[in-house]
Amino acid sequence: MACPGETDLTGRQPFKVLLYEPMDEAGTALLASRAEVITPPSTDEEEILRCVDGVDAIVVRANGRVTARVMEAAPKLRVVARHGVGVDNIDVEAATERGIWVVNTPLANCEAVAEHVVAMMLMLAKRMRSADAEVRLGRWEARYTLIGVELRDRALGVVGMGRIGSRVAEICHRAFGMHILYHDLVPREAAEAELGARRCDLPELFSLSDFVSLHVPRSPETHHLVAARLLSAMKPTAYLINTSRGGVVDEEALVAALREGGIAGAGLDVFENEFTADHLPIFDLENVVLTPHGAAHTQEALVRMSLVAEDVLRVLDGEPPQNPVNQPR
């Protein structure tokens, strides 16, 4: 790798890439082979602004935002890459107006997140969190009170039948014989033909499903999409799983439903105030399974997500990216 300001062996000036947070060595090494890679002391916007001048590319993970203000401070910026799928922490409209590509890794974490959803479903259905705690206390008699349910012939409602939602539906239908309901803006004919999936509106899906799994992006339209009205439509024996974005669920309404027995339990990998909250009311409940926005964090998926570096270098070499989110003007 050439030193900053020097040319490499091909005579090219090395690029400069701002990597908001460390990522897997596979992607980092690829970037370092062609660029100076810098990492800020934190993902606070003021720290980012101190580092961003002169960068050709930005790679962002879950922490930090790439705002219009950040882009204004980086006149050479040509591409913003999302290590993952969701781009709600990138001002895509501002990037498009400035002629900046936004790219992501839409297939990289599909299997990891789908498996995480199924794991949460099994933990809730078999009451494994409570069972584990009881065994550690030597309370073997819990085997008579912690009675679970089987997934077979249960109804799974998938909200957002994209890549991950479709994979969850496939696993649950083929492995457990679950019946698939789904809500999506467009019909998913392949899922209907291959899995027997039935498209329905949200109130019907929530009222009929034994498990509801959310797979929608965070947007003004999906903010608190799941609130008291839909939660009250669920069976008292049903479970809610959210691995999409925290703001999609009204957590205050969810906590109330869980405390009052409106639903049987929930599995959450994402939270409205994640990364900043030391304690949330939902932490006090026993009928939940909680993970720290890590559904996508398998060894394999982290490698695949880091290889967003390939599209970064493709754009910097003047080629169109393989996984564009926008079409810069």
Active site amino acids: 245, 274, 293
What band does 15 get if pLDDT is binned at 50, 70 and 90?
very high
CB contact at 8 A, 76 and 97: no
Helices (H), the chain: 25-32, 45-51, 68-72, 92-97, 110-125, 128-136, 163-176, 189-195, 202-208, 228-233, 251-259, 299-306, 309-316
What band does 329 get if pLDDT is binned at 50, 70 and 90?
confident
Residue 188 lies in a domain: yes
Are 124 and 46 within one domain?
A: no
Query: What would the mean pLDDT of 25-38 be, rounded to a whole number?
Result: 97
pLDDT in tens, 39-91: 999 999 999 999 999 999 999 998 999 999 999 999 999 999 999 999 999 99
**How many CB atoms within 10 Å of residue 193?**
9
Query: What would the mean pLDDT of 296-305 be, rounded to a whole number?
Result: 97
Residues in the chain: 329
Are 277 and 144 within one domain?
A: yes
CB contact at 8 A, 30 and 309: yes
Which H, E and C letters describe 297-314, residue by residue?
Answer: CCHHHHHHHHCCHHHHHH
Query: What would the mean pLDDT of 298-310 be, rounded to a whole number?
Result: 98
Query: What would the mean pLDDT of 20-36 be, rounded to a whole number?
Result: 97
Are 210 and 80 within one domain?
A: no
Are 91 and 28 within one domain?
A: yes
Task: Assign residue 104 the CATH number of its domain.
Answer: 3.40.50.720
Residue 275: its pLDDT value, please? 81
**Of 272, 159, 154, nearest to 208 (Cα)?**
154
Are 201 and 229 within one domain?
A: yes
Are 163 and 273 within one domain?
A: yes
DSSP 198-231: EE--HHHHHHH-SEEEE----STTTTT-B-HHHH
Helix then strand count (H, E) for the chain reads 13, 12
The number of distinct structural domains making up the chain is 2
Residue 5 has pLDDT above 80, yes or no: no
Are 56 and 138 within one domain?
A: no
What band does 4 get if pLDDT is binned at 50, 70 and 90?
very low
Residue 13: its pLDDT value, please? 61
3-state secondary structure of 43: coil
CA distances from 188 to 70, 82, 197, 222, 226 (A): 38, 26, 8, 20, 22
Are 164 and 310 within one domain?
A: no
Residue 293 has pLDDT above 70, yes or no: yes
Residue 97: its pLDDT value, please? 97
Are 179 and 284 within one domain?
A: yes
Are 123 and 197 within one domain?
A: yes
Are 121 and 104 within one domain?
A: no
Are 23 and 82 within one domain?
A: yes
Domain of 148, in residue numbers? 110-290
Residue 252 has pLDDT above 50, yes or no: yes
Least confident of 11-25, 181-195, 292-306: 11-25
